[in-house]
């Protein structure tokens, strides 16, 4: 089943941005209304995704462990679910020290690489459990990054943001690298120490971000001459180097393509 895109007309977009800056009740009524945009669900995943993480087997070989200048700033492991949620094995990334001098980020994540870029629409699904410092004590954290270029010079990220005193999912590097211009469709907070399902729906019109099947944000994206597609992606724990601590668990990571793509993916370690 295809999802009807909910990119709003420019007049409504302007209204949404203005309402984010107005006083409480009216804005909340607009953004968390029962409208079709706010209540939309992600596209049904294909019966067999193009790729699905296999860490349930306890096998870390398909994952990469990225380090900054060869110095470990944390650990990346496949471990039995420590949350007592009965999820079997999960991917665990944990920051144990700040990045060394000159290091700008912690890169404790698995990276999915396609030998050739896929061109077309796709859906990415994953679950995350996070325990990171409060906003005033942390740098940025990213839950997932996707690129439609091999050089990672055109990408977008699903990040942890902080708005109106609450942690919320945000989209970053939209519409172009270094920007974070998106439309907030729900004020649903992102809970710590709780499993959350995240769906990312990507097509030529832009990006739709779902939290526990609720559309919370969307953005237009300038895909450049390559057009919409996927070359590489990563999940796990990716955070600013100044962070001294942080724990993130991932499960049920998968990618589904709208059109057939017969080239097998690979993971790097």
Q: What is the pLDDT of residues 54-112, one digit of tens each?
A: 776 665 555 544 444 456 788 888 899 999 999 999 999 999 998 877 678 888 888 88
Structure confidence at residue 11 (pLDDT): 32
Task: Please say if the pLDDT value at position 114 is more than 80.
Answer: yes
- 181 or 14, which is more confident: 181
Given a contact cutoff of 8 angstroms between Cβ atoms, the answer to whether 45 and 123 are in contact is yes
Given a contact cutoff of 8 angstroms between Cβ atoms, the answer to whether 214 and 208 are in contact is no
Q: Report domain extents, the chain.
A: 10-268
> Could you report the per-residue pLDDT of 123-168, keeping only the tens digit for each?
999 999 999 999 988 889 999 999 999 988 889 999 999 999 999 9
Tokens of 223: 């895909």
Reference 245, options 160, 138, 166; nearest CA is: 138
Structure confidence at residue 246 (pLDDT): 95
Mean pLDDT of 204-225: 94
Structure confidence at residue 267 (pLDDT): 63
Q: Which residues, listed in sequence order, are joined to residue 166 by a DSSP beta bridge?
A: 163
Q: Which residues of 129-155 are buried (b: 16+ CB within 10 A; e: fewer)?
A: bbebeeeeebbbbbbbbbbbbeeeebb
Q: How does residue 29 score in pLDDT terms, banded at 50, 70 and 90?
A: very low
- The second-level CATH assignment, the architecture, of 10-268 is Sandwich (2.60)
Given a contact cutoff of 8 angstroms between Cβ atoms, the answer to whether 191 and 74 are in contact is no
């Amino acid at each position: 089943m295809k999802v009807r895109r909910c990119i709003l007309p420019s007049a409504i977009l302007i209204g949404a941005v203005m309402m984010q800056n107005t006083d409480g009740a009216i804005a909340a009524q607009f953004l968390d209304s029962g409208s079709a945009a706010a209540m939309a669900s992600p596209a049904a995943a294909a019966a067999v995704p193009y790729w699905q993480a296999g860490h349930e087997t306890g096998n870390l070989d398909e994952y990469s462990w990225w380090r900054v200048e060869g110095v470990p700033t944390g650990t990346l492991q496949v471990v039995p679910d420590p949350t007592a949620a009965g999820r079997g094995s999960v991917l665990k990334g944990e920051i144990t020290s700040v990045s060394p001098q000159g290091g700008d980020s912690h890169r404790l994540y698995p990276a999915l690489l396609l030998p050739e870029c896929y061109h077309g629409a796709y859906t990415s699904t994953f679950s995350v459990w996070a325990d990171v410092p409060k906003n005033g004590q942390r740098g940025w954290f990213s839950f997932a990054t996707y690129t439609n270029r091999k050089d990672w010079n055109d990408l977008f990220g699903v990040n942890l943001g902080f708005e109106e005193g609450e942690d919320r999912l945000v989209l970053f590097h939209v519409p172009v690298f270094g920007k974070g211009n998106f439309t907030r469709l729900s004020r649903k907070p992102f809970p710590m120490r709780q499993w959350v399902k995240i769906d990312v729906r990507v097509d030529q019109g832009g990006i739709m971000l779902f939290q526990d099947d609720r559309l919370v944000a969307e953005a237009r994206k300038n895909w450049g001459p390559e057009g919409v597609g996927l070359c590489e992606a990563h999940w796990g724990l990716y955070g600013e180097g100044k962070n001294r601590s942080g724990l993130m668990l991932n499960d049920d990571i998968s990618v589904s393509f709208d059109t057939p793509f017969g080239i097998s993916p690979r993971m790097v370690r």
